[in-house]
């Protein structure tokens, strides 16, 4: 018996000696502590819908890469929490062999009484090996929005009436005026709209398009420099577009003298028609380039002359077309 007791005493002394050496010199070379992960919350309790911060802290070997959960994991990953966004990963060196990585999530919760902070898996990669370590779950108290002394929800009281300030009535007046003005403008645009004729590029309908534009000018009573100039610009544009589409003269890009020269080379156009057209274009040039201000009665007379020129040119074109058809039908 004494021999057995002496043997156990020697084994115990050796164990204590090895344990003491480990405490003095630390673990054997090459041994690495296991990675450690914890979840930290920025508040001891939160309110429903209140934003707070959840931080995952991983302490691990320096040669391992840490992979934190994404911020779009949903309720499967975040449990009772809702992630709003994830911040950047921050790293802090503890020593040459150890470091701490952390990442912060901005979260909220709509749970009642308490919210469950679940286990968050964090992966550690080193070469081709990957280890997964989870955080410890916990319950986070959720403070009720209704105070403890509220026995029941009460019907809200009627809103007190306050007199409206003067600026409110002024704003309503401006809005009313704007609506009336917009309606009047829309009605005027509808009355003056003749898109079927004016926007048709077909040469066969050039006369109808030009006549429609001149009829719209009959409803205008130009007075003032800008209004008169706009009136004559529209008038001459109607004639020049007709000449380009129907007569074959590049009138929109030509001066009045060039248009007259081109018409004189057209023997089918009567000299009287050319003279009347020159008078209309020259009057318009005085308004557009010399700031002439003819009275409304004179502008109406010029508009009548423009319509007369348009009628004469169209009559000539139709006569020539009819003659061409007769010649084609009579030829063998």
Lowest pLDDT segment from 10-19, 139-148, 178-187: 10-19
Reduced to 3 states (helix: H, G, I; strand: E, B; else coil), residue 130 is: strand
Distance between CA atoms of residues 83 and 75, nearest Å: 9
Residue 323's pLDDT is: 83
More confident residue, 304 or 155: 304
According to the model, what pLDDT value does residue 31 have?
A: 57
Longest Cα separation, the chain:
152
Residue 222: is its pLDDT beyond 70?
yes
Alpha helices in the chain (DSSP H): 2-25, 75-78, 166-192, 195-198, 206-218, 225-242, 256-264, 271-290, 296-330
The candidate with the shortest Cα–Cα distance to 114, out of 57, 45, 61, is: 45
pLDDT of residue 236: 93
**Using alpha carbons only, how large is the chain's radius of gyration in Å?**
47
Q: Is the pLDDT of residue 215 over 90?
A: yes
Give the SS3 label for residue 295: coil
Q: Decide if pLDDT at 27 tops 90.
A: no
> How far is residue 68's CA from residue 108's CA, in Å, rounded to a whole number?
19
The runs of H, that is alpha helices, within 119-205 are 166-192, 195-198
**Res. 24: pLDDT tops 60:** no
Region of residue 291 (left: phi > 0; alpha: psi -120 to 50; beta: else): left
Determine what percent of the chain is predicted with pLDDT higher than 90.
Answer: 33
**What average pLDDT does the segment 263-290 reach?**
91
Q: How far is it, in rounded angstroms, from Cα 120 to Cα 135?
A: 5
Q: Is the pLDDT of residue 329 over 80?
A: no
What is the tens place of the pLDDT at every residue in 160-175?
566 666 777 777 888 8
pLDDT of residue 324: 81
pLDDT tens digit string along 174-212? 888 888 877 666 655 555 544 444 455 667 788 999 999
Q: How far apart are CA 35 and CA 42, in angstroms?
A: 23
User: Percent of the chain scored above 70 by pLDDT?
Assistant: 77
Q: Is 54 helix (H, G, I), strand (E, B) or coil?
A: strand
């Amino acid at each position: 018996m004494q021999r057995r007791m002496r043997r156990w005493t020697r084994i115990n002394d050796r164990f204590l000696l090895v344990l003491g050496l480990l405490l003095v010199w630390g673990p054997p070379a090459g041994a690495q502590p296991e990675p450690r992960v914890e979840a930290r919350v920025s508040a001891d309790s939160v309110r429903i819908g209140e934003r707070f911060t959840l931080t995952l802290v991983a302490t691990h070997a320096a040669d391992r890469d840490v992979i934190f959960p994404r911020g779009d994991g949903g309720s499967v990953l975040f449990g009772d929490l809702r992630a709003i966004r994830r911040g950047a990963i921050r790293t802090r060196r503890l020593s040459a062999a150890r470091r701490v990585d952390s990442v912060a999530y901005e979260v909220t919760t709509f749970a009642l009484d308490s919210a469950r902070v679940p286990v968050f898996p964090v992966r550690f990669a080193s070469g081709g090996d990957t280890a997964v370590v989870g955080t410890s779950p916990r319950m986070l108290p959720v403070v009720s929005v209704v105070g403890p002394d509220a026995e029941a929800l009460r019907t809200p009281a009627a809103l007190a009436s306050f007199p409206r300030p003067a600026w409110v009535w002024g704003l309503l007046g401006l809005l009313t005026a704007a609506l009336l003005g917009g309606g009047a403008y829309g009605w005027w645009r509808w009355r003056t709209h003749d898109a079927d004729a004016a926007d048709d590029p077909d040469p066969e309908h050039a006369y109808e398009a030009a006549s429609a534009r001149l009829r719209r000018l009959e409803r205008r009573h130009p007075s003032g420099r800008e209004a008169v100039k706009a009136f004559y610009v529209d008038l001459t544009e109607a004639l020049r577009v007709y000449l380009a589409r129907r007569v074959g003269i590049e009138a929109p890009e030509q001066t009045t003298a060039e248009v007259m020269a081109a018409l004189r080379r057209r023997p089918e156009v009567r000299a009287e028609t050319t003279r009347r057209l020159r008078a209309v274009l020259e009057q318009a040039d005085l308004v557009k380039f010399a700031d002439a201000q003819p009275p409304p009665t004179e502008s109406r007379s010029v508009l009548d002359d423009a319509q007369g020129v348009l009628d004469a040119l169209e009559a000539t074109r139709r006569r020539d077309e009819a003659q061409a058809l007769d010649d084609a039908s009579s030829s063998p």
